[in-house]
């Protein structure tokens, strides 16, 4: 019973974090950030916003972020009480709750006080970390199946440190590229845009390399192979969604394209984070004895 509650709490946290990201895209694309004036949490002096579309969009974003904060705190408390033996789950829940609260506070400060472009980009970056933590928590709980028992993987599932380090670097580099993209969207600097395209090309090659390595070298480890396939598909879809964003600019689909781009970005970073955790765990397994060593090993009397 406890496991089911924690599992569905982790799912709910993941879903609400995704909704916060979507609402943030709508607020940015419609320019509704200050439709409630420089007041928080009130909207033009009222708890219930006016009837204008802009104020409803901004107020919905605030409401969703508030619900996300409540769910994150409830999830953290639940895991602290019912999953005491799983410190890793507690850490994921704590990271999620921390960044949800921080990004919500930053959003409130951005309304009351004008914020610089780097701070606004960081606001998006913190929301990205919050969603990644929620997805990592949900995937980890689903994979565990039982909070009380933990069965160590066999030594044959050991992952090399090279694979582990490259995967972790790809996750960190993805965050840097996403932050740069958010910064460019707030500043529209030409030099930053050129740097973003170069970094995006490097990221494409890096993630494809990580995915190929996971599929080719670790086909005997199902979750690593599946994660390799997922990150490759998401990485290929990401630039395509960026092109779609330019194609539909000014059309009736102008809102759909950036939401799709954000969805792919969120899941790519989150799955890279989960893959980094899994490769780190498997890289710590003791190195199994090689086949040649077993063959040449002298028989004991």
252 assigned to active site: no
Helix axes of 190-217 and 222-247: crossing angle, nearest 10 degrees: 150
For residue 155, the 8-state DSSP code is G
SS3 of 43, please?
Answer: strand
Phi, psi of 117 (to 5 degrees): -60, -45
Question: For residues 114 and 102, what is the distance between their CA atoms, to the nearest angstrom?
Answer: 17
Cα 259 to Cα 58, 147, 178, 236: the distances in Å are 16, 35, 14, 17
Helix axes of 87-112 and 53-82: crossing angle, nearest 10 degrees: 150
Residue closest to 11 by CA, chosen among 19, 255, 299? 19
CA atoms within 13 A on the CB side of 85: 7
- Residues β-bridged to residue 257: none
For residue 113, the 8-state DSSP code is S
Catalytic residue of the set 39, 58, 281, 289: 58
Question: For residues 45 and 213, what is the distance between their CA atoms, to the nearest angstrom?
Answer: 56
Where helices occur in the chain by DSSP H, the ranges are 2-30, 53-82, 87-112, 117-144, 161-187, 190-217, 222-247, 256-283, 291-296
Buried b (16+ CB within 10 A) or exposed e, 77-92: ebbeebbeebeebbeb
Cα 103 to Cα 32, 124, 137, 269, 272: the distances in Å are 18, 8, 19, 17, 21
Q: Tell me the catalytic residues.
A: 58
């Amino acid at each position: 019973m406890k496991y089911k509650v924690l599992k569905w709490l982790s799912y709910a946290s993941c879903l609400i974090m995704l909704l916060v990201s979507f609402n943030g895209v709508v607020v940015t694309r419609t320019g509704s950030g200050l439709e409630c004036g420089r007041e928080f949490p009130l909207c033009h002096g009222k708890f219930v916003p006016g009837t204008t579309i802009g104020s409803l969009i901004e107020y919905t974003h605030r409401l969703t972020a508030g619900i996300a904060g409540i769910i994150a705190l409830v999830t953290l408390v639940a895991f602290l009480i019912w999953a005491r033996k799983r410190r890793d789950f507690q850490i994921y829940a704590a990271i999620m709750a921390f960044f949800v609260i921080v990004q919500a506070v930053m959003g409130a400060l951005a309304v009351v006080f004008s914020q610089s472009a780097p701070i606004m980009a960081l606001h998006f970056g913190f929301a990205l970390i919050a969603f990644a933590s929620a997805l990592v928590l949900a995937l980890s709980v689903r994979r565990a199946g039982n909070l009380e028992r933990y069965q160590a993987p066999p030594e044959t599932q050991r992952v090399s440190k090279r694979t582990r380090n490259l995967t972790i670097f790809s996750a960190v580099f993805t965050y840097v590229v996403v932050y740069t993209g958010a910064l460019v969207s707030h500043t529209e600097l030409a030099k930053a845009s050129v740097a973003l395209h170069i970094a995006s090309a490097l990221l494409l090659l890096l993630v494809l390399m990580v995915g190929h390595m996971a599929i080719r070298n670790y086909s005997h480890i199902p979750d690593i192979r599946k994660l390799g396939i997922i990150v490759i598909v998401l990485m290929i879809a990401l630039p395509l969604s960026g092109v779609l964003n330019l194609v539909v600019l000014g059309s009736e689909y102008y809102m759909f394209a950036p939401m799709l781009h954000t969805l792919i970005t969120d899941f790519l970073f989150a799955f890279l984070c989960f893959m980094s955790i899994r490769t780190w765990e498997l890289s710590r397994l003791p190195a199994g004895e090689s086949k040649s060593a077993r063959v040449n090993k002298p028989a004991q009397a």
